[in-house]
């Protein structure tokens, strides 16, 4: 559901991709992309023996050299617990908040999980073996939801116990 209740949240967390190793890899890839394009286009010295068409280098530079770093720098996972449910938004992929009404929650719990083994990494991920969907930015902690209908959902959190306590306080439903 979209929409947003503007009462003050009992819990709010914003998470961004700021891991140093991730940024080292992104900036390395970005640098190679930009350097390759400049080397071939400006200095007429392609890297290696294979001259790439201009349009290929320019597209690769735009995607890996500019767009990917901007996308990951601006991405933010916002999680809120309000009087009527849990709200989450993974900007820029979600234009507005998604609501999880308390009435749809069967169980929830703060948990530790294996991001790569369970969901294939971080971001908006789809787990295998019935694990459902995950929204996560970093780390291996979060709150896992099971619903009265549908597949489970994991929302990553750096403060999962506080997140779960806020759900209990707002909904009256104890974690399991």
pLDDT in tens, 48-76: 666 677 788 889 889 988 998 999 899 99
What is the C-alpha separation between 120 and 126, in angstroms, rounded?
8
Distance of CA 143 to the CA centre of its chain: 14
Sheet holding 98-101, edge to edge: 11-16, 76-82, 85-91, 98-101
What is the C-alpha separation between 48 and 39, in angstroms, rounded?
11
Summarize pLDDT for 67-122 with one digit per residue, the tens. 989 998 999 999 999 999 999 999 999 999 999 999 999 999 999 999 988 898 89
**DSSP H helices in the chain:** 20-41, 54-60, 68-74, 115-119, 160-171
pLDDT at 1: 46
Mean pLDDT score of the chain: 88
- Is residue 140 within 8 A of residue 113, CB to CB? The reply is yes
pTM (2 decimals)?
A: 0.80
CA angle in degrees (0–180, nearest 5) for 88-104-130:
80
Count Cβ atoms below 10 Å from residue 172 Cβ, excluding itself.
8
């Amino acid at each position: 559901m979209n929409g947003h209740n503007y009462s003050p949240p009992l819990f709010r967390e914003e998470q961004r991709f700021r891991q140093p190793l991730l940024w080292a890899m992104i900036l390395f890839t970005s640098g190679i992309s930009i350097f390759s394009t400049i080397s071939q286009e400006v200095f007429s010295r392609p890297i290696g023996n294979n001259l790439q068409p201009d349009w290929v280098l320019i597209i690769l530079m735009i995607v890996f050299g500019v767009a990917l770093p901007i996308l990951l720098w601006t991405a933010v996972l916002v999680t809120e617990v309000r009087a009527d449910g849990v709200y989450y938004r993974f900007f820029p992929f979600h234009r507005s908040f998604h609501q999880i009404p308390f009435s749809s929650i069967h169980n929830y719990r703060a948990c530790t999980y294996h991001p790569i083994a369970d969901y294939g990494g971080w971001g908006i991920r789809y787990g295998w073996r019935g694990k459902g969907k995950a929204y996560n930015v970093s780390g291996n902690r979060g709150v896992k939801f099971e619903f009265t209908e549908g597949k489970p959902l994991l929302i990553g959190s750096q403060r999962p116990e506080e997140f779960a306590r806020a759900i209990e306080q707002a909904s009256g439903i104890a974690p399991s």
